Chains A and B, each alone.
Chain A
């Protein structure tokens, strides 16, 4: 499978510093998009971006090409770091949010996951109750916490988690068929 990002990660794992530069040029706009969408604030997103590439270099040896695409791995490093930062914030009130980020248009060459995978996830999300599908998307894409989801969907906090877990179970059944 042709995966230039995976090749760059393997060169990083081998200590090739020029590969880190190429990786940054090829992927920093996508990771910045992820960090901005979750953190909602440019200066914090830039701070997080430095931390993410530092981690990527130090952990590149943990990336395994046999287990998935390079870009998927990079995005999971970025999402995990951004959500760690969110959960460490003392107040859980969502920050002011830049609406332009909602209007995501993925360019044809920016496609990260095969079309069929996108179609399958969308199909499986469509089999859920719309509110649950929306909650799962909001949690994944924006890093919403239980209390934010509870507020948005008007579901009491003490039942929200089991409500969401039922959605996850159904999603897994549908996707693993």
Chain B
């Protein structure tokens, strides 16, 4: 039994599970789950109360996305370099001007981190990608976002694999759960229509690339 929460906090836990909280309150509640055991317990209790509704969700056949999921999660051994396929797609962008700066540093808690600058070939913008072992945070450090009706999309490319989208880059930092990628993998930014690539593969020009090196 945890300390009873204030009624208002229990309501917030209920609204978090229900999903009705506006984005800002929702983000704050999600953060609190990790910091406040009593609040986390209240969220779990509400998840259990509503769990019976889960039967209402009908099953829908899912395509086999395992290859893409595994490409994101599990490093492949570095293969022999190839001069075609996606590497060809990259070489258009990797016009030597794409500058890569990698810094390994120790975080206060002692986890290794990897920080990568992804700089546009024409130096119009620069993003900083920071891997801390479980999270990836990408924020624009220089220049402007893509023009209206277009967006910068971030890709990770394992050797010999098709690019996998990590998300869209706007003014707010992109934050996702992602492990530190192995050496030889490439981060790339392409220009896509607003809303991101409609095909799941890059469709627009590659503006910047950075290879992971340690």
Contacts and interface: CB of A to CB of B under 8 A. Distances in A.
B65 to A, nearest CB: 5
Most A CB atoms within 10 A — which of B65, B179, B200?
B65
B107 interface: no
Interface string A48-77: 011101110111000000011101100110
A2 B179 CA distance: 32
Contacts of B65: 24, 28, 46, 49-50, 53
A46 B62 contact: yes
Contacts of B54: 34, 71-72, 75, 112-113
B148 to A, nearest CB: 13
Contacts of B200: 43, 47
A21 interface: yes
Chain A interface main SS type: helix
Contact of A141 (B21, B57, B74): B57
Contacts of A146: 20, 22
Q: Chain B: interface residue count, which band?
A: 35 or more
B142 interface: no
Main secondary structure of the interface of B (DSSP, over half): helix
Given A50-B69, A140-B50, A113 B55 contact: yes
Contacts of B70: 17, 20
B11 A169 contact: yes
A117 B73 contact: no
Interface in B38-83: 44, 47-63, 65-66, 68-70, 72-74
A144 interface: yes
Contact of A34 (B57, B134, B198): B57
Interface of A: 17, 20-21, 24, 28-34, 36-37, 43, 46-47, 49-51, 53-55, 57-59, 67-69, 71-72, 75-76, 79-80, 83-84, 86-88, 101, 103-107, 110-113, 117-118, 120-122, 136-137, 139-141, 143-146, 149, 161, 164-165, 168-169, 171-172, 175
Given A75-B54, A140-B18, 9 more contacts: A17-B74, A20-B73, A21-B66, A33-B58, A34-B54, A43-B198, A79-B19, A87-B26, A111-B55
CB-based closest 8 A-B pairs:
A104-B58, A32-B62, A121-B52, A28-B62, A83-B19, A29-B59, A87-B23, A118-B52
8 contacts: A33-B57, A50-B72, A51-B176, A54-B69, A54-B178, A83-B26, A104-B58, A164-B18
